[in-house]
Structure 1
Amino acid sequence: MTTEMPYAEVIGDPIAQSKSPLIHKFWLDRLDIEADYRACHVTLDALPGYIESRRDDPAWRGCNVTIPHKIAMLDLVADPGGVRDKIGAMNTVVRQDDGSLMGTNTDAAGFLAPIADYDWSGKHAVVIGAGGAARAVLFALKQAGIAETTILARNGLKASGLLMQSSMKGGVLPMDARLPGADLLINASPLGMMGQPALEVDLDPLPTDCLVYDLVYAPLETGLLKAAKKRDLAVIDGLDMLIGQAALAFELFFGATPPMEDDDELRKRLTA
Structure 2
Amino acid sequence: MPELPEVETTRRGIEPHIVGKRIKALHVRQPKLRWPVPDAIHQAEGKKLQAVERRGKYLLFRFSSGTIIAHLGMSGSMRIIAKGEPPMFHDHVDMECSDGTTLRYCDPRRFGAWLWTTDDPLQHALIEKLGPEPLTDAFNVDYLLEKAKGRKSAVKTFIMDSHVVVGVGNIYANEALFMAGIHPKRAAGRVSEARYEKLVQAIKTVLAASIEMGGTTLRDFVGGDGKPGYFKQTLRVYGRAGQPCLTCKAPLTEIRLGQRSTVFCKLCQT
> Which category of TM-score, normalised to the shorter sequence, fits these structures?
under 0.3
- Structure with greater proportional helix content: 1
* TM-score normalised by length of structure 1: 0.26
Rg (Cα) greater in structure:
2
